[in-house]
C-alpha cells in the first residue's frame, strides 16, 4: 500500500533520523505505519483514499501528489508555502494560506 505524508514527521532508520517530505509518497516500513497509526493517524494517508477524497487538492506540480491542506497545521502550511515559493505573511490565517497554496490571490497576505 502506498502512503502520502500529510504533516511533518520523523522516522528513525538504522540509527538515523529521516524526515519524509510533506505531500510526497514515502515507503514506510510496516512497523513505522503501525506506530504512526497509533500515535498520529492523520500524519499519513493511503494514496487511494486521498484520490477519492473530494476535498484533497493538488499541491505538487511535478509528481501530481495530493494532500488535504485543511488537516495540516498552520506551521505546516507555512512550511509548505515556503517550499513552493508562495508568499504569505506569518500572521496570515490558515484559510488564507490554503487559498494561496491553491493558487488564489495572495496580494492581501
Q: Where are the alpha helices (DSSP H) in the chain?
A: 30-39, 47-52, 74-83, 94-101
Residue 57 confidence (pLDDT)? 56
Determine the 3-state secondary structure of 68 from DSSP: coil
- Classify residue 81 as exposed, middle or buried by CB count within 10 Å of its CB (0-12, 13-18, 19+): buried
Residues 6 or more apart in contact with residue 47 via CB below 8 angstroms: 1, 2, 3, 4, 25
- Under a CB-based contact definition with an 8 Å cutoff, are residues 85 and 92 in contact? no
Instruction: Provide the 3-class DSSP secondary structure of residue 36.
Output: helix
* Residue 15, phi-psi category: left (phi > 0), alpha (psi -120 to 50), beta (remainder): left
> DSSP character for 72?
S
Q: What is the pLDDT along the chain (109 residues), one digit of tens a residue?
A: 788 898 999 999 999 999 999 888 898 999 999 999 999 888 888 876 555 555 555 555 555 555 678 888 898 888 888 888 888 998 999 989 888 888 754 444 4
At 104 the pLDDT is: 55
Q: Structural domain boundaries of the chain?
A: 1-68, 73-109
Amino acid at each position: 500500500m502506498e502512503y502520502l505524508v500529510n504533516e511533518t514527521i520523523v522516522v528513525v532508520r538504522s540509527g538515523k533520523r529521516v524526515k519524509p517530505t510533506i505531500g510526497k509518497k514515502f515507503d514506510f516500513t510496516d512497523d513505522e505505519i503501525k506506530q504512526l497509526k497509533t500515535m498520529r493517524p492523520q500524519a499519513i494517508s493511503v494514496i487511494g483514499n486521498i484520490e477519492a477524497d473530494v476535498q484533497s487538492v493538488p499541491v505538487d506540480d511535478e509528481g501530481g501528489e495530493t494532500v488535504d491542506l485543511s488537516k495540516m497545521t498552520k506551521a505546516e502550511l507555512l512550511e509548505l508555502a515556503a517550499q513552493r515559493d508562495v508568499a504569505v505573511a506569518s500572521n496570515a490565517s490558515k484559510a488564507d494560506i490554503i487559498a494561496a497554496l491553491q493558487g488564489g490571490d495572495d496580494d492581501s497576505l
